[in-house]
Amino acid sequence: MSFKHDFEPTSLREYDIRGIVGQTLHPEDAFAIGRTFGSLVKRDGGDLVVVGYDGRLSSPALEEQLVRGLRASGVHVKRVGRGPTPLLYFGSVAHEADGAIMVTGSHNPPDHNGFKMVMKGKPFFGKQISNLGKLAAAGDVVEEGAHGSVETVDLSEDYLKRILQDYDSERPLKVVWDNGNSAAGDVLQRLVAELPGEHTVLYPEIDGTFPNHHPDPTVEANLQDLIAEVRKQGADFGVAFDGDADRIGIVDNKGEILWGDQILAMLARDVLRDKPGATIIADVKASQVLFDEVDRAGGEPLMWKTGHSLIKSKMAETGSPLAGEMSGHIFFADKWFGFDDALYAAVRALGVVSRLPGTVSDMREALPSMVSTPELRFPCADTRKFEVIREVAERLKKAGADVTEIDGVRVNTPDGWWLLRASNTQAVLVARIEASSPAGLERLKGELVRQLEASGMEAPDFSGAAGH
């Protein structure tokens, strides 16, 4: 039987394949991903692919079809079962796999799902994903007939042991964990049972309907239960995960949120004590405060493009021991393997918090105080979004502005900065503004609005858009 398959174009994203189950993503897509990805592995001389899935209701059926497709390509499949995405990444490293695929919808709504892929230990993204789509459409796969083998392996014990190996807290802490019904639930409960101190886990049951709150720790509304419990217990801090536990959220002992760049600042200081002069990477959306703090702590701050695949690639290139994104992806290559893992980052945070001279809130309050907008997103056609960025950059450079073009346009001014970039995954432009005063924030909002209007864009209403 000849194989050819057309994916819904919107499902082939920059960093993964994802869509709405039953509308833009189907079991046939999962089979096609396995069939095509497996063919790429075989043609590259490989044989082993590790597969895992998250707690979404649609994940078991998609995983089954994915495995069918991989086996039809003649590869050997190791199924690690249901769990967090970092467990799959760990399996890929521990078994020196030629490829790895996680069935996960990450932090998206319950009816969404997708596939995160790794090839030879590196992120499989961008042109590789679009090429996979072309190969599937052309039926350009290895011949059928070679039926690969499959085995089920439980890596959770090895994974937990390896995480606990790097636990270095100097005193037992009281910590509240909000699993948010994520795929980490089973592993998380076993992890905290091994940790000294007092640990409370909210919503430990894995439930793909996410009945308590949406699994995205970058949104303040999703952290309210964690904040309340930390305050009630007088805990040292609280930890939250996204749907597949590759992103972390942290609240301090007062129940105040540490945003992605503040988490990275706390962890970076600790890493730099052992690795002075090391490069610490953060995405272009991070606060200038973070880059200044890394510099002050004796590190080499590096601003890079947003996107977990792009950050991982840059870490490997620069030998960076630590990187992070505003979205809560934290990447440790110091003692760890360089992939984003919220469970591991949380255990390292326990050690860091235990060594602070005061509380987590003391640390947060000692950082320079800035006012900023949350991430602002507004519609812009895919055919137009990158053109708008080019036009804005050209005008600003002609005007002599201080512009960084690593990922979109980041404009530095005496009282702060603003960023405008095109999303790689949606038909939207993304903006963020930070200033040292409310008046400065308003001035920078006006600058951004003027640039958008000069490119014929209807500027969004920024009134009230002041975050942390």
Indicate the domain borders of the chain: 9-154, 158-366, 371-454
List pLDDT tens digits, range 399-453: 999 999 999 999 999 999 999 999 887 889 999 999 999 999 999 999 999 999 9
Largest CA distance in the chain: 68
| pLDDT value for 467 | 47
| pLDDT value for 444 | 95
The angle that helices 260-274 and 342-355 make with each other, rounded to 10 degrees, is 70
Give the pLDDT mean for 59-81.
97
The angle that helices 127-138 and 27-43 make with each other, rounded to 10 degrees, is 100
Cα(203)–Cα(207) distance, integer angstroms: 9
Q: In this structure, what token pair is assigned to residue 392?
A: 């804005």
Rounded mean pLDDT of the chain?
95
Topology match between the domains 158-366 and 371-454: no
- The yes-or-no verdict on residue 146 having pLDDT over 70 is no
Backbone φ/ψ region at 153: left (φ over 0), alpha (ψ -120 to 50), beta: beta
Of 459, 442, 266, 449, residue with least CA distance to 359: 266
Cα(302)–Cα(337) distance, integer angstroms: 20
Report the catalytic residues.
106
Cα(206)–Cα(182) distance, integer angstroms: 5
Cβ neighbours, 10 Å, residue 415: 13
- The yes-or-no verdict on residue 465 having pLDDT over 60 is no
Kindly indicate the confidence band of residue 378, based on its pLDDT and cuts at 50, 70 and 90: confident
| pLDDT value for 427 | 86
Of 114, 112, 117, 93, residue with least CA distance to 103: 114
CATH number for the domain whose boundaries are 371-454:
3.30.310.50
| pLDDT value for 368 | 92
Kindly indicate the confidence band of residue 145, based on its pLDDT and cuts at 50, 70 and 90: low
Evaluate the CA torsion angle 268, 306, 369, 295 in order and state its sign.
positive
Evaluate the CA torsion angle 320, 287, 306, 211 in order and state its sign.
positive
* Domain 9-154 -> CATH class: alpha beta
Superfamily of domain covering 158-366: Alpha-D-Glucose-1,6-Bisphosphate, subunit A, domain 3 (3.40.120.10)
Cα(155)–Cα(418) distance, integer angstroms: 44
- 46, 120 Cβ separation under 8 angstroms: yes
| pLDDT value for 440 | 95
As a three-state string, the secondary structure of 165-176 is: HCCCCCCCCEEE
CA angle 37–23–122, rounded 5-degree value: 25
List pLDDT tens digits, range 82-116: 999 999 999 999 999 999 999 999 988 999 999 99
